[in-house]
Amino acid sequence: MANFCRSCDAKIKWVRTDGGKRMPLDAEPHAEGTIFILGRRNREVGRVLLGDALEEARERGEALYRSHFATCPHAEDWRKG
């Protein structure tokens, strides 16, 4: 089932962070992505990769995603203060 951003109607997917919070991602992997998805289906966890881990994932050709907060033109409307 596809999910869509309520602000900009872009197709998104939801994952959980390691801390258990929900995080919206752009639905498709992107060359500038930094988020690696672990698990499958309803148990997907999004992990932000940095430094060597990010470079190694890119070298392996892993699918990396971008946070939808980085691409949504209305992201500020959803940020918690």
Cα(77)–Cα(23) distance, rounded to whole angstroms? 15
At 80 the pLDDT is 66
At 41 the pLDDT is 66
Per the structure block, which two tokens stand in for 62?
A: 């892993």
- pTM (two decimals): 0.86
Q: Quick one: CA dihedral 19, 71, 59, 63, positive or negative?
A: positive
At 78 the pLDDT is 73
At 10 the pLDDT is 96
Degrees (nearest 5) of the Cα angle 76, 77, 79? 60
Cα(78)–Cα(81) distance, rounded to whole angstroms? 9
Averaged over successive runs of 10 residues, the pLDDT of the chain (81 residues) comes to: 87 92 95 92 87 97 96 82 57
Q: Determine which helix (DSSP H) or strand (DSSP E) holds 38, and give its type and residue range.
A: strand 35-38
